[in-house]
Amino acid sequence: MGGDSYDELIGPDGTPREHASRLVHNLNALGRDRLLDAGARRDAIFMQQGITFALAGDSGEMLDRPFPLDLVPRAIPAAEWADIERGLIQRVRALNAFCDDIYHDAQIVKAGVIPWSLIVGRSAFARAAHGIRPPGGVYCHVSGCDLVRDHDGSWKVLEDNVRTPSGVSYVLENRRAMRRLVPQLFRDHNVRPVDDYPALLLDALRAAAPASDEHPTVVVWTPGTYNSAYFEHAYLARQMGVELVEATDLVVRDNVCFITTTRGLARVHVIYRRIDDAYIDPIEFRPDSLLGIPGLMRAYRAGNVTIANAVGTGAVDDKAVYPYVPAMIKFYLGEEAILDNVPTYHLSDPDNLESALARLDQLVVKPTSESGGAGVFIGPTATDEEVAVQTKLVRADPRRWIAQELVHLSTVPTVQPDGTLEPRYVDLRPFVVYGRDLSVIPGGLTRVALPAGEMIVNSSRGGGSKDTWVLDDANGADTPPPPQSVFTTSSMRTAPITTWESQQQQQQQA
């Protein structure tokens, strides 16, 4: 693994990459002990502030753990970020156009670019949303596209999230915590700020309000305190200064949506919902949903309330649709995709199926219609037995699966329990907000797989996160080489975490 992977701070010769040289210098100046001290303070502060996520304990009970923020940031130079930003804006524009298209004329289908059966066969395709065009034609108000960096340093889109992407609260909290815990690392850097995100989001949501004489009332809709992302829902509501509501607070009368207040009903114009389509209205979707609001879809269809992200966006970020995104960009925008996809194969195609099954131990296989790393199979780290099981699963229903070439995730030095740094795999989830225009929050959430060799970065699998810096050119002077290093030189230079590679070799021998 390590040998093939691109490290974002350290070059192949073991010296810091140019944009990271000051950061590496600052890390060395900080030293191992102070890094460990800051880590201990971080855990205490996060527990006190309840910046936690629930993780199942040994005996199955749910425990609150401090959200694991690694104190070594990931740095991206401004010039590189400019390309990512353009690529993301282009991609979300196309996804938004696709969403509008499939719930109206489906021209992309008529043009033969994407088969209709593929779109309409998605469980997330919302027939109830047909013909509804939200104000401004915006469907994907908030998007989070997961990016990875291949061994040659090129950025690729791993998947799109345009339903209710989460994680942005950690971007903001991570930055706040980093400024408090390790201010020394910021020295001689111009790090682009991220804290105007709540204002950006509120503007976008207000811009999406249905035309009305009143000042639009925006609310954040959470499934409740037991939802694993409740911290984020409350955080965003607080930061935007709007009400955080649950289904029981909302009521629809005469196709108009209201909240129940201490003084009676008050009109709501925009609902930033953090709950899946299936649960929002028991009349139109799942009748067993206790979380939903009866009549909400009627109010939505009547244009009296905006739901963000729009109903039906789940059909757009589905893993089965993903391979067509470059074609979408071409079709709607007449441009070549700036950000590449990872090569992906539909297993419903018999040729793809056979060639994929023949080399399953080299591929990543993902179920469609799932999110959050659930059901993902990584061939190169799987045992023979697991490969056999997966083969059976895929054969049973090939349409449920896609196969992807393995991307050699990039690495970033990450603090170990003894205070030294070792490379760990990361991905990046930048957030795009679509209001009157599109904007991208600088950086985004870098997720890091903390166990050595682990490639799934989701926090449910022991993943942590890193602050992500977009660096404008700083005025600082060139820094001298550090006297003493917290980097375990061997690991940084030769990247000896060979678990993955050796497993691959074993498999090839087997």
Single out the residue of 18, 48, 131, 437 in contact with other proteins (rule: CB under 8 A). 48
Instruction: Give 244 or 338: the residue with its C-beta nearer to other proteins.
Output: 244
* Residue labelled with tokens 């919302």: 126
Would you give the DSSP letter of residue 489?
A: H
Burial 6-24 (b: 16+ CB within 10 A, else e): bbbbbeeeeebbebbbbbb
Nearest-approach distance from CB 478 to other proteins, in angstroms? 40
Nearest to 372 by CA among 115, 100, 53, 70: 53
DSSP 8-state secondary structure symbol assigned to residue 11: -
Segment contacting other proteins by CB under 8 A, of 41-49, 77-85, 137-145, 474-482 = 41-49
SS (H, E, C) 263-285: CEEEECCEEEECCCHHHCCCCCC
**Subset of residues 221 to 240 that bind other proteins, contact rule: CB under 8 A:** 225, 230, 234-235, 237-238
Question: How far apart are alpha carbons 497 and 408 in whole angstroms?
Answer: 13
CB 494 within 8 A of CB 7: no
- Min separation Cβ 500 and other proteins, Å: 38
Binding segment (CB under 8 A) for other proteins, from list 48-56, 135-143, 378-386, 439-447: 48-56
Mark residues 246-275: x for contact with other proteins by CB under 8 A, - for none: x-xx-x-------xxxxx------------
The DSSP code sequence of 119-156 is HHTSTT--GGGTT---GGG---SEEE-EEEE-TTS-EE
Residue 348's CB is within 10 A of a number of other CB atoms, namely: 18
To the nearest 10°, report the CA torsion of 226, 229, 231, 233. Answer: -100
Applying CB under 8 A, which part among 47-55, 72-80, 83-91, 311-319 lies near other proteins? 47-55
Least distance CB 298 / other proteins (angstroms): 20
Least distance (Å) between residue 42 CB and other proteins:
15
Options 119, 245, 297, 438; binder of other proteins; rule CB under 8 A: 245
Bond from prior residue into 309 cis (ω within 30 degrees of 0)? yes
Contact call for residue 47 and other proteins (CB under 8 A): yes
x-marked contacts with other proteins along 183-222 as a string, rule CB under 8 A: -------------------------------------x--
Q: How far is the CB of 49 from other proteins (least distance, A)?
A: 6
In the list 4, 33, 50, 340, the residue contacting other proteins (rule: CB under 8 A) is: 50
Between 259 and 376, whose beta carbon lies closer to other proteins? 259
User: Which lies closer to other proteins via its Cβ, residue 235 or residue 487?
Assistant: 235
> How far apart, in whole angstroms, are the C-alpha atoms of residue 119 and residue 288?
25
Place of tokens 């441009």: 335
CB of 167: closest distance to other proteins in angstroms?
Answer: 18
In angstroms, the CA 355 to CA 375 distance is 21
Binders of other proteins in range 346-365 (CB under 8 A): none
Based on CB atoms, which residue is closest to other proteins, 219 or 311? 219
Q: Which residues bind other proteins (CB under 8 A)?
A: 47-50, 220, 225, 230, 234-235, 237-238, 243-246, 248-249, 251, 259-263
